[in-house]
Structure formats: C-alpha cells, structure tokens
Amino acid sequence: MSELARAARAVAGGRHIAVLTGAGVSAESGIPTFRGAGGLWRGFDSASLATPEAFAANPKLVWEFYNWRREIVARADPNPAHVALTKLAGRVPRLSLITQNVDRLHHRAGSRGVLELHGNLWEIRCTRCGETSDRTGDILPPLPSCGACGGLARPAVVWFGEALPDDVWSAAQESVRDADVLLVVGTSAVVYPAAALVTLGKRAGQTIIEVNLEPTPVSDAIDIGLYGKAGELLPQLVPSEQE
Ligand code: OAD
C-alpha cells in the first residue's frame, strides 16, 4: 500500500484528527514562507524581523515588513490545501485545526474554531496601553498608532521570545493529546513551542502524518511522510462524502 493510501485510510478511520499547519500550507496562495526560498525580504531574513528586539530597534522597518505581508495576504485567496482541511472537518467525527500562520486563510476557507498559536496579522496592539484593534484589510500608516491613547501600535502577532496565548496553547495541547491522527502540514518544525506539538501525543495508536515538500527535523518521529505540495496532497486525504 502506498504512503498516500495508508494516510488516507488513517484519516478516514480517525476519531479525532488534529492538524498543525505552518507557512507551507499558504505557499500555494503566493504567501512567502519564512525559511527557504522566499524567506528573504529586502535581504533581511524574515524570521529576524519577527522579534521584539527588531521592533524596538527599528519599528518603521518592522512595520514595512508587516505592511508588505498584509498587502500580499489581502490579495491572496485560500488554496486547495485550505479548502481540503475545511472539507475534512465536515467528514470526520472531530477535527482540531491548529496553525502557526497569521494570515487567516484557514478562516477565509471556512474553517471554524482555528487555534492561532501566533495570533494574526490583521490585529494591532498598543505598546503603551495594550488596546487591541481589528484592522482587517486596512492600509496602515508607516507607524500605526493606538486609537485610544496615541501610543505606538505593533502587529498583534507572537514574536520570537514571546509567550503564546495561554488559552490557545492549552487547547492546542489538549487536542493533540486526544487525537488519534495528527496531520503536520507545511511546517519546518523548528520553531518552539509549536514544533513540540508534533511529538506531544506520540503513543501507540496515534498516527502522525507529515505533509511537506521535504523531510524536516521531526520526520524521524512520524509514521507516514507525504512529500509534495500540500495543495495537491491534502485533497487526496479527504474521504468522499459516502465513506
Ligand atoms: P517555515 O517557512 O519555517 O517553513 C515552511 C515549510 O513549508 C517548509 O518546511 C517547506 O518545506 C514547507 N513548504 C513550502 N511550500 C510547501 C507546499 N506547497 N506544500 C507543503 N509544504 C510546503 O514556516 P513555519 O514552519 O510555519 O513565527 O514557521 C514557523 C514560524 O516561524 C512562523 O509561524 C513564524 C516564523 O518565524 C512567527 O512569526 C513567530
């Protein structure tokens, strides 16, 4: 039996499918990933701009980077990988969708209850009073300020060295521990604590499936590896409506 057939069988027979996605799931929507090809913006390593230190040193540069990403995301559409996960949720007893992405494309594809580990790109948060506001689709000034107190606002995303939102992180861990199938899609699995979810629920009886262009540091711990584009592979894991 092929790896793809084994994966499809595990998914179709799953009681609770937990899915962890990363930037690769949005790559076919034209959104650059953080590492590998596309991981550079104006010669800067994208991940190095996603830090509180980078923002403290040069908020204008970090905002330029995020405003650029906001524009790309605003123009992008969900791709067949996002759509497949939405369909899958309707065809299995339970599905939990956990994402490291801040682009909200899972929401736009119709997924519900998405656990956003790293926040999202559309909200901004005041660095002075903490007020958060939803600026979905808005074109922001080079240095956005808080509508309440006038302080400097920042993207309401989780940066390196910052804690994940407690409630989201707890819910993600619970889902992975409970799931009998874990689908890990389009993540380089090098950013913690998110990457720790891959092996958190590892036990006899849990099937871990990795979907990526190439093997990653967690590939040794997984059961089934599917190497290719998420937009081509995920639709093949969705059971037909009659199953
Ligand atoms: P990365 O950019 O590190 O990794 C993207 C992964 O997707 C790589 O392993 C690629 O091989 C894979 N990939 C690319 N195109 C694909 C495709 N079409 N189909 C399947 N796989 C594909 O992105 P993440 O692992 O999501 O955090 O990065 C994790 C975190 O690091 C991000 O959430 C962000 C970043 O810095 C913060 O901003 C805090």
pLDDT tens-digit map of 25-54: 999 999 999 887 777 888 888 889 999 999
Local confidence band at 24 (pLDDT 50, 70, 90 cut-offs): very high
Ligand 1 centre to CA of 188 (Å) is 5
Hey, which residues does 153 pair with through a beta bridge? 126
pLDDT exceeds cutoff 80 at 203: no
Whether the Cβ atoms of residue 195 and residue 218 lie closer than 8 Å to each other: yes
Mean pLDDT of 119-143: 97
Pocket test for ligand 1, best of 35, 121, 160 (most atoms within 8 A of CB): 35
Instruction: Tell me the percentage of the chain whose pLDDT exceeds 90.
Output: 89
Pairing of strands 153-157, 132-134: unpaired
CATH of domain 1-31+78-118+164-243: 3.40.50.1220
Ligand 1 centre to CA of 23 (Å) is 4
Mean pLDDT of 147-176: 97
Whether the Cβ atoms of residue 185 and residue 230 lie closer than 8 Å to each other: yes
Is 118 a residue of the active site? yes
Residues with CB under 6 Å of ligand 1 are 22-24, 27-28, 33-36, 47, 50, 100, 118, 157-160, 186-188, 191, 211-214, 216, 229-230
Local confidence band at 147 (pLDDT 50, 70, 90 cut-offs): very high
pLDDT of amino acid 192: 93
Ligand 1 centre to CA of 166 (Å) is 22
pLDDT of amino acid 201: 81
Instruction: Tell me the percentage of the chain whose pLDDT exceeds 70.
Output: 99
> Which residue lies with its CA nearest to atom 23 of ligand 1?
23
Stronger pLDDT, 199 or 108, i.e. the higher one: 108
CA distance 176 to 173: 5
Catalytic residue among 82, 106, 107, 118: 118
Pocket test for ligand 1, best of 49, 55, 100 (most atoms within 8 A of CB): 100
Length of the chain: 243
pLDDT exceeds cutoff 60 at 200: yes
Hey, which residues does 124 pair with through a beta bridge? 133, 155
pLDDT of amino acid 49: 93
CATH of domain 33-75+121-157: 3.30.1600.10
pLDDT exceeds cutoff 80 at 7: yes
Domain pair 1-31+78-118+164-243 / 33-75+121-157, same fold: no
Ranges of each domain in the chain = 1-31+78-118+164-243, 33-75+121-157
Hey, which residues does 134 pair with through a beta bridge? 123
Ligand 1 centre to CA of 228 (Å) is 14
Amino acid at 208: I
Pocket test for ligand 1, best of 191, 198, 211, 237 (most atoms within 8 A of CB): 191
pLDDT exceeds cutoff 80 at 157: yes
Could you identify the atom of ligand 1 that is nearest to the CA of residue 187? 25
Mean pLDDT of 153-172: 97
- The DSSP-derived string for the chain is --HHHHHHHHHHT-SSEEEEE-THHHHTTTPPPSSSTT-EETTEEHHHHSSHHHHHH-HHHHHHHHHHHHHHHHH----HHHHHHHHHHTTSS-EEEEE---S-HHHHTT--S-EETTEEEEEEEETTT--EEE-TTPPPPSS-B-TTT-PBEEEEEPPTTSPPPHHHHHHHHHHHHH-SEEEEES--S-STTGGGHHHHT-STT-EEEEEESS--TTGGG-SEEEES-HHHHGGGGSPPTT-
pLDDT of amino acid 242: 65
Chain position carrying tokens 């990988």: 81
Q: Per the omega criterion (within 30 degrees of 0), is the bond before 193 cis?
A: yes
pLDDT of amino acid 202: 82
Whether the Cβ atoms of residue 56 and residue 216 lie closer than 8 Å to each other: no
Could you identify the atom of ligand 1 that is nearest to the CA of residue 36? 2
pLDDT, averaged across the chain: 95
Residue 171: closest CA among 86, 112, 98, 89: 98
pLDDT exceeds cutoff 60 at 85: yes
Chain position carrying tokens 């409970």: 178
pLDDT of amino acid 36: 76
Local confidence band at 23 (pLDDT 50, 70, 90 cut-offs): very high
pLDDT exceeds cutoff 70 at 130: yes
Dig out the tokens for 6 from the structure.
Answer: 């084994």
Local confidence band at 243 (pLDDT 50, 70, 90 cut-offs): low
- The DSSP-derived string for 166-226 is HHHHHHHHHHHHH-SEEEEES--S-STTGGGHHHHT-STT-EEEEEESS--TTGGG-SEEE
> Which residue lies with its CA nearest to atom 26 of ligand 1?
22
